[in-house]
Every structure is written in structure tokens, then in C-alpha cells.
Amino acid sequence: MIPQTTHTHYRTCNLCEAMCGLAIDMHEQRIVAIRGDAADPFSKGHICPKATALQDVYADPDRLKTPMRRTVHGWQAIGWAEAINEVASKLRQTQAAHGNNAVGVYLGNPNVHNVGSMLFSASIIKALRSQNIFSATSVDQLPHQFVARHMFGHQFLLPIPDVERTDYFLILGANPMASNGSLMTAGGIERHLKGIKHRGGKIVLIDPRRSETADVANEHIFIKPNSDVLLLLAMLHTIFAEGLAKPDRLAEFCNGWDAVRASVAAYSPHVVSAATGIAAETILRLAREFAAAPRAVCYGRVGLSMQRFGGLCQWLINLLNIVTGNLDRAGGAMFTTPAIDMVDGARAGKFGRWRSRVRGLPEFAGELPVATLAEEILTAGDGQIRAMVTVAGNPVLSTPNGGQLDTALASLDFMVAIDIYINETTRHAHIILPPTAGLECEHYDIIFHVLAIHNSAKYSPPLFAAAPDQRHDWQIYQALVQALGGSPVDEAMSSAKSMTPAQLLDLGLRYGPYGASGLSLDKLKAEPHGVDLGPLQPRLPERLFTPDKRIQLAPDLFLNDLARVQAVFKISEVSEPSEASKTSEGYDLMLIGRRHLRSNNSWMHNSERLVRGKDRCTVLMHPHDAATRGLHPQQTVTIKSRVGQVSLPLEISDDVMLGVGSVPHGWGHDRAGTRLQVAQRQAGVSINDLTDEVFLDDLTGNAAFSGVQVSVTGL
């Protein structure tokens, strides 16, 4: 029962992309309930189990609150000034001896969920002047940003499905019922999916697994991993061949129509059917339905982004929306009008200005593919990474061949982590600098308003005051920059010359699209539920960042990469078995990931309420695949790939396609030296002890987690 003497604090949950509004009931500085905020104009009362765990993170006894130094006798608490000055000294010494690139930086996914990191993390990168910058981008959404840069002129000009008004929602390789949208911020997505069906529309899911989203879709179709590129090519082929293209006003500002038409000519549905596992008649029907729908949108996410043709898939999705006239119109794929317009303020994203030292992989937007990080540490020679700065990330569990990176991090001369936990990655750090977390921080979603299905804005003040000996992440960045510049910091770590996040947010709001109408930080503070800024509106061609203000339909990079499709799938007028579906060296199953509603990042596994219940870290396999191997339910099996092997329980279900195995990500908490008590009791295994650092999307450099070849045997 909630005590009568409570007060309610309103904020936005920052544990995933969904931006769900929360009503947090407090009694004597203690949380007594976390509910969905029915008055939030964006999420309208929706809440998922993750939000209730915000209090677990705040009260977690494993969470660090003061700097820690690793010694031969274990971890030792030290003061802020000592920690910051020692970190700066070690990093400066490394660069003085071996060059600026001897220090690498890795930024984890939680950075984009935190306003302090979003506004201030670039300062430490600038201060270090290293080209060895890595982030979670290249194990996630890099193909989206890469394609946006080359088609629309800016890496963050990302089309968002207008699910509030569409009549036909084609979903590939995504599970929004578990994610509440990904690169499609949509708190309460189930409400919108039901709305599509209620108004007579249709939802089609194409995925190697029958997921939670399949349960609410009108139709689910299995597809072989890595073959989505062929399905999209065949749909475009059909639309052109049958005269179904109707770009309408988009034709006035697009370059490359003839090149697009020619590029899809060889990929008829009959040619690609065997390689995709989808009947030619089904592909024809999908193309015709999509083209005929009054308002349609195609959306593809991690199953397409994290595979060997991720860049081509996102390019072809954009083309499908464009050639049917479904880009930049209600019910199609649209661009947001965020109150703080980071598209105007962020770099557009240059490509190939430098390459990684060992493998020669190109940078994009100042970052190298993280799949090359371990070899850059382990390979001796000029430019070798000898020190690392990691920020809110756990790449040992989240990047390909995590075992190799684990070994690499252990070999560093020096490592500093800005993190609240001693996890599988930060256990290698010499010093950990823990920032405040979640409910101790003010909050504004700079990036997710850019990705949202509806325009809104909301500011949340801190729920709890930081303790005197705690520091916010932005204060840590400021102090490090000051110390790296040669000015030692004191315990206060204050800098009178630096602006605060609140001041920067206010400037962004006042100079943003709604500033002339009076939107400011004070205005948002007076609206604790947030403000509704209306549905998505057409923004083109004015919103384009290309030099000629025209969409580039057929950049040479994409057209040239189609040769790789031909080489892998051996496309000809007579369909042949797909090379991608064949196996080698005894590997006879294709591995895919899966997501659960209670999980997003690995550190959430230290919340008892999020991991309780039945074991979720299992390998999902089709009954026929299990039978041919003599395997039975709940049996412990060994999965082996080129880079490693793991053992975990088997779950048998026809929810997964024949020839496919599925393992969730983010687990593997059995490594020695961590301090994650709850997670260690539910350790599981890391899928990234199986994924391969050389298995990439060659076009973008993104890791290809989906479709890794493995074998499964019983113990």
C-alpha cells in the first residue's frame, strides 16, 4: 500500500530508447512505487518491467560511488583529485612515448541515454587527439547512419516509421514488442500496432524467429539469415517490372532513378526464392501489397543492421519507401522535428579519412569499427594501442570475439573506465571513475527525440541529490580535460568557465525549431509531464543536407557493393542454392540473437527483478534440428564457432526457422574479478564468445552478428 504522505515525481525512463514517462511515488525520500505517467503526451501511461528497476540501480550495493584503483591487494578507494590527476598523467605519458594514437577510446551504448555524456563526452575525445575512437555504433546502427549520410547528406537524418498513421507496416529483422522500437522510439508500441489493425491495416513481420511481434502481426514469414538483401531487391524488381513505382513529389528531387532500376533488374522473385527460403509467389504478393497500400512503411532493424549486408539492406529499405512515394509523407517513413535539433548541430559524418592500422578498415564520423579494437591492442608496432579509456560500456560482452578483447584489455599498460560497475570489461581498468547514475541526474533525451514517432519534449530534474563525494559524468569529463591540459584538479573539480548541461539545454531549446514560440528550459520545467509538439510532418527537400538538396538514390558505394551479393549468392537467371546457406568445416547451423523485454544492456542483469524467473539464456533450436542431433529439451549443449565455444541449455521450438539457432545477448557473467552479485548468480554465456571479428558488413564495417556459422552438440 502506498503511504498517504507521498509526493509524485515525473520523469522519463532512460533504460532503453522508448522514452516512457514515469510517475514515481516518494515517501520520506524513499521510492514506494513506479508507475506509467498517464499524462505523458508521448507514452500515455505505458511502462515496461525495466522502468521499475531504476530504483534497483540507485540502491545497488555493487554500484561504485567513489573512484577505485586496482592494486595487487584488490580494489582501493581513492580521492577524486588523486584519481583524475593520475589518469591524466598516465595518458599523457603514454602519448608522449608512443604518439596520440597509442590511447584508444570506447563509448558504450548507455552514453546516448545520458544528457551529460551526450553534451560533454566529445570534449575528452578532442583533448586526446587520437584516431583510435570506437563505440557501440559499429556493433549496432552504423549501417543506418552510413546510408543516411550518403543518401540524405547527414548521418542522423534517419527516416522514422509513422506508425501512428500507416496502413501497411512491413517489419524486417526487428522485434518492437520487446524493444518498444529501436531507431523508432515508440513507448507503448503495442498500442500503435493494434491501432494499425483496428483501422483495417496490415502488419507483416519477416524474421528467422517467430517473435513477440509476430504474435500481434497479421502475418509472419520466415527468412534465411543474411538473405534480406535479396528479398528487398526482388520486391524493388517487381515494383519496377510491373509499373508499380509511384514516387509522386519525391521524383522532383531525387538523383539516380535509372541506376536504381538497372541495379535491381537481375533479382526477380523466382531467382532469389531458394536463397531466401520465401516462395516467389509470396515475394510478388508482398511487393504488390506494399505498392498498393494507401500509406505504407518498411522498417528494418538489428536483424538487418547486424549482418554482412547491413548497409545494402538499409539502402534498399529507403529505396522501397521512396519508389512507392512513402518517404516524407504521413503514414510512411518521416523525419522528426525535435525541439533540440542535433541534426543541425552534429557532424554530418565523413568517411574514409583514415584507416585502422592492422586491417585497414575505414573510419566513419571519426570512429573506427570496434571489431578491429582487439587486434589494434595485440599487434605490436608503431601506432599500437597501449592505453584505453572506456565510458559506460562493456565491450567484452557486446563486441565480436569478446574472448579476444578480454585478452587484449588485460595486456594494456593502462586503462581507465568511467563506469558505475566493476564488470567484465572494467575489471581490467587500473582506475575506475564512477559517475552518478539515473535518478541522481537531470534528464533530457537529445538523441531519442530525433528518432521518435511523434514530436514532443520533456525535461526531468534529478530525483535524488548527489552525495558530496559523488560527481556527475560531465564534471568528470571537464576535470579530465583540465588535467590533460596540464592544470591539476582539486577535490572540487569545478571549472567556472564551463557551462552546465541545463544551460546548454536551454540554449538548444531557445535556438531550436520551437524557440520562437517560447520553448525554453523553464517552460519544460513548468510542464513536468512534457509537451506535445505534434505528429511528424513532411520536411523535404528543405531538410536535406546534400549539396544540391536532392536525394542520392544510387551512390556508387552501394551500386558497387552489389557485386558482393552476386559473389556470395551466385545469382543467375536459374536460381541456385545460396552460398550463404551452405556450411563449412562442420558448422551446420546459422546463429542469430534475440532480445527480451526485461533486458537491454548487460548491466541490467544485476537487478533481481529483471532476471528472476526461468532461465532466458538458452539456445533456441527447431525440433527437426534437435532430433537430427539426438538432442532433447533442457539438455546442456555446446555451441562452437571459429572463434570459441560455450555451453548452455537447449530450448526446442518451431518458433525458430529450420537451420537456425538463437541465443540472447548481454549474458556471460561468469568471468572472475567482477562485482555483480545478482548477475553472477544468473551468469549465462556470452553470444559474443562465438561471434567473429572478421565477419563484417564490408561496406560499412559494422559487425555481422547474425548468420555466424556454428555447430551444436550434446555433452
Q: Tell me: the pLDDT tens digits for 248-260? A: 999 999 999 999 9
- The residue among 17, 19, 30, 1 whose CA lies nearest residue 9 is 30
Alpha helices in 199-298 (DSSP H): 228-241, 257-263, 269-276, 280-292
Q: Please answer whether residues 572 and 319 qualify as being in contact, where contact means their C-beta atoms are separated by less than 8 angstroms.
A: no
Question: Over 90: is that where the pLDDT of 578 sits?
Answer: no
Rounded to whole angstroms, the Cα distance separating 336 from 453 reads: 8
pLDDT of residue 454: 98
Who contacts 122 (Cβ-Cβ below 8 Å, separation ≥6)?
none
For helices 280-292 and 269-276, give the axis angle rounded to 10 degrees: 110
Question: Quick one: pLDDT at residue 4?
Answer: 67
Segment 169-199, tens digit of pLDDT: 999 999 999 998 899 999 999 999 999 999 9
Q: Average pLDDT of 654-671?
A: 96
Of the candidate CATH numbers 1.20.1250.20, 3.40.50.620, 3.30.460.80, 2.40.40.20, the domain formed by 583-714 belongs to 2.40.40.20
pLDDT of residue 584 exceeding 70, the answer is no
Cβ-based burial of 71 (10 A; exposed 0-12, middle 13-18, buried ≥19): exposed
Kindly report, residue by residue over 41-81, the tens digit of the pLDDT: 999 999 999 998 899 999 999 999 999 999 999 999 999 99
Question: Taking a C-beta distance cutoff of 8 angstroms, is the pair 104, 388 a contact?
Answer: yes
Q: What is the CATH number of domain 7-59?
A: 2.20.25.90
> For residue 692, is pLDDT > 80?
yes
Q: Is 592 helix (H, G, I), strand (E, B) or coil?
A: strand
> Cβ distance 697 to 704 under 8 Å?
yes
**Tens of pLDDT, residues 594-644:** 988 888 778 789 999 999 888 999 999 999 999 999 999 999 999 999 999
Task: Give Dmax (Cα) for the chain.
Answer: 75
The band of 498, judged by pLDDT with boundaries at 50, 70 and 90, is confident
At position 3, the amino acid (one-letter code) is P
Query: What pLDDT is attached to residue 458?
Result: 98
**Residue 580 pLDDT grade (very low, low, confident, very high; cuts 50, 70, 90):** very low
Give yes or no on whether 68-140+342-400+422-534 and 159-335+554-558 have one common fold.
Answer: no
Report pLDDT for 581.
Answer: 44
Model confidence at 369, pLDDT cuts 50, 70, 90, reads: very high
Task: Give the C-alpha separation, 82 to 39, whole Å.
Answer: 46
Q: Which pLDDT belongs to residue 579?
A: 47
What does the pLDDT read at residue 600? 76
Instruction: Give the mean model confidence (pLDDT) for residues 191-210.
Output: 97
Q: pLDDT digit string (tens) for 407-446?
A: 999 999 999 999 999 999 999 999 999 999 989 999 999 9
pLDDT (0 to 100) of residue 383: 94
Write out the three cell numbers for 209. Answer: 524467429
**Residue 444 CB-density burial (10 A; 0-12 exposed, 13-18 middle, 19+ buried):** buried
**In the chain, domain spans:** 7-59, 68-140+342-400+422-534, 159-335+554-558, 583-714
- Residue 1: pLDDT band (50, 70, 90) is low
Of the candidates 170, 161, 154, 182, the residue with the CA atom closest to the CA atom of residue 306: 182
Of 395, 510, 346, 458, nearest in space to 14 by CA: 458
| pLDDT average, residue stretch 372-394 | 97
What's the CA gap between 180 and 604, in Å, rounded?
17
CATH number of 68-140+342-400+422-534: 3.40.50.740
pLDDT at 708 over 60: yes
Phi, psi of 214 (to 5 degrees): -60, -30
Q: Which three cell numbers stand for residue 291?
A: 505498392
Question: Is the pLDDT reported for residue 149 higher than 50?
Answer: yes
Task: Please report, rounded to a whole number, the percentage of residues in the chain having pLDDT higher than 90.
Answer: 90
The average pLDDT across 520-542 equals 98
Average pLDDT, the chain: 95
pTM, rounded to two decimals: 0.96
Tell me the CATH number for domain 159-335+554-558. Answer: 3.40.228.10
Alpha-carbon span 461 to 703, nearest angstrom: 37
Q: Which residues contact 56 (CB under 8 A, 6 or more apart)?
A: 606, 607, 608, 609, 610
Residue 127 binned pLDDT confidence (cut-offs 50, 70, 90): very high
Q: What is the mean pLDDT of residues 113-125?
A: 94
Is residue 582 pLDDT above 70, yes or no? no
Check residue 573 and give its pLDDT.
54
Give yes or no for a contact between 462 and 439, defined as CB atoms under 8 angstroms apart: yes
Between CA 589 and CA 479 the distance in angstroms is 50
Residue 21 pLDDT more than 90?
Answer: yes
pLDDT of residue 23: 97
Place of cell 577505485: 68
